[in-house]
Amino acid sequence: MKMNRRGLLGLFGAGAAGGYASAAMARQSPAVRFAHGVASGDPLSDRVILWTRITPPEGFVGPVMVQWRVLETVSETVVTSGHVQTGQDRDYTVKIDATGLKAGAEYRYQFFVGEVASPEGRTRTLAVNGVRPVNLAVVSCQLYPGGLFNAYEAIAALPELDAVVHLGDYIYEYGASASDYGMATGPMLNRIHEPAHEIISLSDYRIRHAQYKTDADLQSAHARAPFICVWDDHETANDAWMHGAENHQPETEGDFATRKATALQAYYEWMPIREAAAGQMREAINRSFHFGDLASLMMVETRLTGRTKALEYTSDLTAKEGPDGEPVLDIEAFAALRDDPSRAMMSSGQHSWLKNELAASKGTGRKWQVLGNQVVMARVAGPDVSRMMSAEQVAGLMAQIPEAYRDQFEQALFLFKMGLPFNLDAWDGYPADRERLYADFAEAGVKPIVLSGDSHAFWVNDLKDASGHRRAFELGTASVSSPSIADALGGFPLGQALMQANDEVVFCDQSAKGFVLLDLYEDRAEARLMAVSTIFAKPFETTVLARFNITPDEEISRL
C-alpha cells in the first residue's frame, strides 16, 4: 500500500476540554503542551495503562494537575475518569492504571490540563474467553538518527490491531559525534541525538526518551493501540548483562548498577508499562497476557536479571600450539567455554515462572503460546562463503565491501569457516541455557512461537534442541530504522548465505526494514514480514516481503 504522512494524531477528533475541566482548575493551570502524544500499554481484561507527558512553560517548576477520562468507543460514554498530579520528580510524565473496564472492549482516552486537551488515543482490553482472532504488530530497534520511523506510520494505519509488541531498543544511548552509531544518516535527516553525548545521567536518559517520543509516526502508533514492551540492551547500554555492558566503562562512567537504576527510572517514567509490584526488582518485567481462550503472550527478560557476560571472539577465542609448532585457534577450548552450564540468559526463577505459565496456558486449552523475547534463539552458524563461491567470486565479493569494513569482514569469514556462531550476544552464546529453555517447553507440553528482535533482520526459524527435536518456531523482526550488517556489506546476500548454511533458518532477510504482523487463529498462525521501501523519505511503500503459515505441531509453510 502507498503511504503518505497523515494527521493520525487527530484521527479521533480533538475532544473539547471546555465542558470537562472545571473553570477553577482552568484558572489555576499553567499553559502546558502535550508535545509527546499519548500512549497505552499492558492491557489486561479489566484495565490498561494510560500515559502522557506534560510540557510545562519554560521556567515553570511547580506541580501540575492532570485530568483524564476513558470513553466507550461507540457510545462515547465516559466509563471512568479521574485526576492526578505530576511534577519534576517524574519529569512531568503521567501514568494511570485505568481499572473497571469491560473485557475485550475498545476504548478512547484523553488527558486535560485546564482547557488544554491532549490528542485522543485508542486502546483495547483483553478478552476473558472466546476465540476471536488476535492481531499483533511486532517491532524492535528504532535508532532515531538511523532513519524515519515509517514502520510506525504503517502500523498506525492498520485496520485490525490488538497490540504492538515491542521487543526492545526503544531508544539508543549513543552520542551525536561523527563516528557515533547512526550519524552517517542522522545529519542528512536532521535527526541528531539529544543530548549530543552518550547518555549517563537521569536527565540524559529523560531527554533521550523525550526526543524519541517527539516523532509523529511513533506517536501515531502509540495512539492507535496498546503497546506491550520489554527492554533489550540500548535502553541502558550496548550488550548489557547483569553487572555491566560492553558500552559502559566504570573508570569514566561510574558504577553500572547506578547507571542501570537511572536508566530504568527513566524507562518506567516514559513508557506505558505497569510498575513493578511492591517487593519485586524493577528489572523483573517478565509478565503474561492472555487473549481470551486463544493465546497467551509471555514477555521474558534476558538482559538484567539473569544474563552472564557475553563471550567475545577477540578475548575468549585463544590460540594454542599447532602440530607444526605454529599457533592455531583453540576451537575446543572456546566450545567448552561456550557450553559451560553456568552461562545463562535467564535466572532459574524466571525459568520456573515461564514453565508454569506455559503449562497453565496449555492447561486452559489455549492453542497458542507466544514468547516476547529479545534476541535470536535459533542455532545460527556464520556462513562459510568458500563453500558457496569460487575463489574468484570471493575475491569479487571482497572488492564490493566498503574499505572501512573489509578487514572485519575478512576476519569474520575466517572464523565462520570453523562453524562458529554468527552472534555470541544471542542465545547462541548460551547453548546450555537454551537447552534448559527447550526442556521447559517440553515439560509444559508446548511448541511456542518465539518472537525475537535485536538482530535488525527478518527471520523465520525452526527451533530444535541438541537432539534434533523441534521445540518451537521463531519469528524475528527487522529493525524499524537501525542499520543492519548487510547495509555495510554492499550487495552481499547475507540472508541467503545464512539460510544455506543453517538447517534451522527457514527464511532470513538481512537488509529490509519494517515489522512483523502475527495473526493468530484457532487453526493456524499467519506471519507477514512487512517491509517499508525506504526509511529515508516519504511517501513510501509497504509490502509483504514474505508470508508464512504455522499450524500447531506441524511444519512452517510459506504462502
Can you tell me the distance from the alpha carbon of 451 to that of 219, in angstroms, rounded to the nearest whole number?
23
Give me the residue label for grid cell 517491509: 531
Confidence grade of residue 402 (pLDDT, cut at 50, 70, 90): low
Model pLDDT for residues 344-384, shown as the tens digit of each residue: 999 999 999 999 999 999 999 999 999 999 999 999 999 88
DSSP string, 189-216: HT---SSSSPP-SHHHHHHHHHHHTT-H
- Tell me: do 231 and 284 sit in the same domain: yes
Instruction: Taking residues 287-308, report their average pLDDT.
Output: 97
316's enclosing H/E stretch is helix 313-316
pLDDT of residue 554: 73
Confidence grade of residue 404 (pLDDT, cut at 50, 70, 90): low
pLDDT of residue 549: 96
- Tell me: do 284 and 139 sit in the same domain: yes
Percentage of the chain beyond pLDDT 70 is 93
- Whether residue 281 has pLDDT greater than 70: yes
Q: For 474, what's the count of Cα atoms within 13 Å in the CB-facing half-sphere?
A: 29
Confidence grade of residue 1 (pLDDT, cut at 50, 70, 90): very low
- Cα–Cα nearest to 112, from 40, 224, 33, 24: 33
- Tell me: do 360 and 482 sit in the same domain: yes
Residue, of 96 and 8, whose pLDDT is higher: 96
Choose the final residue of a domain: 95, 125, 155. Answer: 125
> Where does residue 106 rank: exposed (0-12), middle (13-18), buried (19+ CB within 10 A)?
middle
416's enclosing H/E stretch is helix 403-416
- Whether the CB-CB separation of 143 and 182 falls below 8 Å is answered with yes
**Residue 431 grid coordinates:** 547453548
pLDDT of residue 282: 86
- Tell me: do 200 and 315 sit in the same domain: no
Beta bridge partners of 113: 116
Model pLDDT for residues 207-258, shown as the tens digit of each residue: 999 999 999 999 999 999 999 999 999 999 999 999 999 999 999 999 999 9
**Residue 175 grid coordinates:** 552520542
- Angle value at C-alpha 282, between 276 and 286, nearest 5 degrees: 70
- Whether residue 509 has pLDDT greater than 80: yes
CATH of the domain at 112: 2.60.40.380
Q: Indicate the number of domains in the chain.
A: 4
End-to-end CA distance of the chain: 19
- Angle value at C-alpha 203, between 200 and 204, nearest 5 degrees: 45
- Cα–Cα nearest to 466, from 445, 497, 437, 493: 437
- Tell me: do 69 and 49 sit in the same domain: yes
226's enclosing H/E stretch is none
- Tell me: do 109 and 141 sit in the same domain: no
- Tell me: do 406 and 493 sit in the same domain: no
- Whether residue 393 has pLDDT greater than 90: no
Cα-to-chain-centroid distance, residue 549: 23
- Tell me: do 473 and 557 sit in the same domain: yes
pLDDT of residue 70: 98
Beta bridge partners of 49: 41, 97
**Residue 191 grid coordinates:** 535527526
CA distances from 150 to 20, 193, 232, 413 (A): 35, 18, 21, 33
Model pLDDT for residues 3-36, shown as the tens digit of each residue: 333 333 233 233 333 335 444 454 467 789 999 9
Give me the residue label for grid cell 559525534: 177
Can you tell me the distance from the alpha carbon of 156 to that of 37, in angstroms, rounded to the nearest whole number?
14
- Tell me: do 333 and 433 sit in the same domain: no
For the chain, give the mean pLDDT.
91
Model pLDDT for residues 132-157, shown as the tens digit of each residue: 999 999 999 999 999 999 999 999 99
- Tell me: do 242 and 370 sit in the same domain: yes
**Residue 184 grid coordinates:** 552517517
- Tell me: do 221 and 351 sit in the same domain: yes
- Whether residue 291 has pLDDT greater than 80: yes
Q: Which amino acid would we find at residue 328? A: V
Domain region containing 315 = 310-342
- Tell me: do 301 and 315 sit in the same domain: no
- Whether residue 173 has pLDDT greater than 90: yes
